[in-house]
Amino acid sequence: MVVLDEMPKRERSPVAIDLLRSKKAYTTLGAFMAFDAVVYAIPLPFVTEGLDKVNFPSRYRWIFPPIKAAAAVGLLAAKRFPALGRLTTAMLTLYFVLAVGSHIRARDFTGSIGAAGFFLATFGTMSALGPPRDTA
C-alpha cells in the first residue's frame, strides 16, 4: 500500500489539473481563440445576436477580433514564453468575468452565459496553475 505522503507530487495531481497545464490544452485553446477571432471578424449572425442580447454597442464590436487574435498568440506561445502564457490566461479570465457580468446585467441566461462561465473557470484555473515549463 502506497501512502499519499510518500508519492511524488506529480502522481498526486488530479487528471484535470494535468490537462489544464498541458501543452495540448494551450495549443487547443489557442487554435480555438484564433478560430473565434475569425468568427467575430466576419461576424457570423450568432455573434451579432449574442452581442445584441447583452446590449454591447455595435460601434465597439471591432475590438473583439484583435483581442481574440492576441489571446491566440499568447496561448500558442505559452510553451516557449511561460510568462506570456500566464499573462494571457489572466487577461482571458478578466475578459470572461466581464462577459459573465454582461450576461447577468442584461438578464441573458441562455447558453451563452454557461459558455462564458465555463471559459472563466477554465482560464482562471489555468492562470492559477501556470503553463507547462519546457524542461528540455
Query: In the chain, what are the domain boundaries?
Result: 16-129
- 1 band by pLDDT with thresholds 50, 70 and 90: very low
Mean pLDDT value of segment 21-41 = 95
pLDDT in tens, 75-126: 999 999 999 999 999 999 999 999 999 999 999 998 899 999 999 999 999 9
DSSP string, 34-56: HHHHHHHHTT-HHHHHHHHHTT-
- Which pTM was predicted? 0.85
Residue-wise pLDDT for 35-55, tens only, equals: 999 999 999 999 999 999 999
Cα–Cα–Cα angle for 108, 114, 120, nearest 5°? 115
CB atoms near residue 12 (< 10 Å): 10
Instruction: Tell me if 88 sits within 8 A of 78, measured CB to CB.
Output: yes
* DSSP class per residue in 73-108: HHHHTTTT-HHHHHHHHHHHHHHHHHHHHHHHHTT-
Alpha-carbon gap, residue 136 to 134, rounded angstroms: 6
